[in-house]
Amino acid sequence: MELSIFTDETGLDLVEALPVIKGWGLKNVDLRSGIYRKALESLSDDEMLAAKALIDQHGMKVACLQTSLAKVHLPGDERLAKEMAKLERIIRASEIFGCKLVRSFFFWQPPNGQEREGIGELAVRPDVLAQVMDMFLPFAEKAQAAGLVMAFENCGCTKEECYKVIDALNVPGWGLAWDPKNSWMHDKAEREKDLKGYLRKIAERTNCVHVKATGSIRFEGGFDPIPYDAVFTALEEFGFDGPVSVETHNSDREVSNVVACERVIEVLRKAWPSAAAGAQQEASCVGTDIVREYAGKPVGFGVVGLGMGHNRAGEMTKTSGVRLVMVCDKREDRCARSSEAYGVPATREYEAMLANPAVEAVMVLNETGRHGELTLQALEAGKHVLVTKPMEMSLEQCDRMINMAAEKGLVLGLDHCRRLRPSIQSLKAAHENGYFGRPLSASVTLKINRPMSYFHENGGWRGTRKLDGGVLSNQSIHHLDELLFVFGMPESVRCDVWTQTHDIEMEDLGLAVWQYADGMVVNICSTTSYPQGGWYYQMEIHGTKGAYIHREGGAEKTPITRYYVNKAWTDQAPFPRECPWLNSMDNFASVIRLGGELLTTPQEGRNAVQIIAAMYKSAYENGGNWVSI
């Protein structure tokens, strides 16, 4: 997912617009018009080449060709011929600008298209669909032959009519150019009934997104605000990796187009996911309306590291018995974002947070290789510490953290958040109750996409041996901990690694085998070079009596869990179990106030690091041979 903008929405021609857009920190632009005072399809080859050179000089790339192809209602032969000539120029533009994603229409623009009631005539009348297809099919065939990826906009028609055409064309990769504003009020009843379901249904079909001023910075006529944070969450769950493009349509004559664009960008940046796309979510049995008995004396938290920490800080504001006191990050923009979003002070100086007496506990979410350093500082200052996973890159640092917490009588915990999932809790219960008989084998696969920009961000710490590790350490830690949570520590491990598609120090493909004392064997395959975005994960287990499979992401719209025993599969967990905690911070605060067990103990966090260290020793130092734990 990348932020982009229609260059002409600035009100400036391309030459003047690019420096302004670059000044906003954007690396992508969409082209429509205002290119040497012409529309994209009206440019000569020489003008396209000059525009491409100009964009390259600014260190930018074209994310989408925002054309007006077929944006006319059931035209005659003369107009069809003109549209075909337009398509020829669009194809040439796609070659010169190196961009195959094209916004298009399909000759269906009835009066009051997306504003009328219902889902639209084309969506319910086969004869109308046939008429449209007769007109548009030659265009689709030519576009497909040229390798274009078409995105059809719900502008002048309903999104359901777009779906009908997309389904009829049946071209892999073609989808929706989603403009939430165009259907937001029309779909009010549907989205108010189930916002998450509404957004997910659209997100799975989306190739690009348009963002207007209306719904983001302007709300005239009682227009409901569009929750772009929820929009982005839905998109990421389906591995969306296209552009989110500012198309302000500024109607406020007291505000310049440039200012309006900048304001919309600010809204989107505040809603933008603060961490890389992760796994699909499962509902918890614990609602945010639960009130803890110590709610009148909540544990004051400070959060350091506002990438994923921004999300965790938000969770704290909805958790009974927890109070977000302060946030900290070296980046001023992240401090400002979290401070404004949650109404708490921010600082770029970690020492200032530690000096705040209202901060009883610190949650550490910085680079993995700095967890020990920051945790030890917090413990020395008398703060309890909750650390994100993995605990550290170094076992020695893990031991220092554990020892200091014990010496000072402070709580040290880990945020291995997948332990909260009902599917994992129920899997552990099944194993404990002998459902599988004697476990024989388990396999875990994790396939995700991480572009090089992910590794370059924030000084390039990701993918380094000192601060992060590779896919086995960074991304796979979630699922390594699931195995450890359910089955405990193996007896020995071996591992092979490769770096296939990224210019990084560590692996982007890892294959590991764990062997348990009882003979159980686990195999693990993880990669960050998968072509689809999102989080594609699968776990399979079988024993002498039963079997289990869990799959999420990839081709699955929702997570799938199945159990097998007595020659039959079922989607019902044999020993259902729920976690009593809303999140790791909820559990941590309870342990501080009331005592009890941590969701993940420091020793369990260390165990995961020990496994990672052993796999890396096998792969990087021992030729892939077995290493004893």
Q: What is the DSSP letter of 279?
A: P
Percentage above 70 pLDDT, the chain: 97
Identify the band that residue 238 occupies on the pLDDT scale cut at 50, 70 and 90: confident
The pair of three-digit structure tokens given for residue 58, joined into one six-digit string:
């600014």
Task: Give 472's contacts (C-beta < 8 A, 6+ positions apart).
Answer: 480, 495, 497, 507, 510, 512, 524, 526, 612, 615, 616
3-class SS at 151? strand
Tell whether the model's pLDDT for residue 236 goes beyond 90: no
Separation between Cα atoms, residue 578 and residue 363, nearest integer Å:
25
26 within 8 A of 9, measured Cβ to Cβ: no
Identify the band that residue 554 occupies on the pLDDT scale cut at 50, 70 and 90: confident
Identify the band that residue 284 occupies on the pLDDT scale cut at 50, 70 and 90: low
37 within 8 A of 61, measured Cβ to Cβ: no
Identify the band that residue 118 occupies on the pLDDT scale cut at 50, 70 and 90: confident
Q: Average of pLDDT values for 84-94?
A: 97
The pLDDT assigned to 559 comes to 86
Q: What is the pLDDT of residues 356-390, one digit of tens each?
A: 999 999 999 999 999 999 999 999 999 999 999 99
Per the confidence metrics, is the pTM higher than 0.85?
Answer: no
Produce one character per residue of 139-157: b if its CB has 16 or more CB atoms within 10 Å, e if not.
bbeebbebebbbbbbbbbb
Least confident of 168-177, 357-366, 531-540, 589-598: 531-540
CATH class of 422-578+611-628: alpha beta
Separation between Cα atoms, residue 342 and residue 86, nearest integer Å:
49
Q: State the span(s) of the chain assigned CATH 3.30.360.10.
A: 422-578+611-628
Identify the band that residue 273 occupies on the pLDDT scale cut at 50, 70 and 90: confident
Q: State the span(s) of the chain assigned CATH 3.40.50.720.
A: 299-416+582-587
Task: Give 321's contacts (C-beta < 8 A, 6+ positions apart).
Answer: 292, 293, 294, 295, 298, 299, 586, 589, 590, 593
CATH number of this structure's domain 299-416+582-587: 3.40.50.720
Tell whether the model's pLDDT for residue 528 goes beyond 60: yes
214 within 8 A of 223, measured Cβ to Cβ: yes
The pLDDT assigned to 336 comes to 92
Q: Length of the chain, please? A: 629
Q: Where are the beta strands (DSSP E) in 75-232?
A: 101-104, 149-153, 175-178, 206-211
Separation between Cα atoms, residue 10 and residue 250, nearest integer Å:
9
Other CB atoms within a 10 A radius of the CB of residue 88 amount to 12
Separation between Cα atoms, residue 210 and residue 198, nearest integer Å:
17
Tell whether the model's pLDDT for residue 287 goes beyond 90: no
The pLDDT assigned to 533 comes to 82
For 487-550, the three-class secondary structure string (H helix, E strand, C coil) is HCCCCEEEEEEECCCCCCCCCCEEEEEEECCCCCEEEEEEECECCCCCEEEEEEEEECCEEEEE
Q: Do the bridges between strand 361-364 and strand 322-328 make them parallel or antiparallel, or are there none, so unpaired?
A: unpaired
Name the residue type at position 209.
V
More confidently predicted of 276 and 597: 597
Q: How far, in Å, are 6, 461, 493, 621 from residue 273 at the CA level?
A: 21, 19, 35, 37
Q: Average of pLDDT values for 598-608?
A: 97
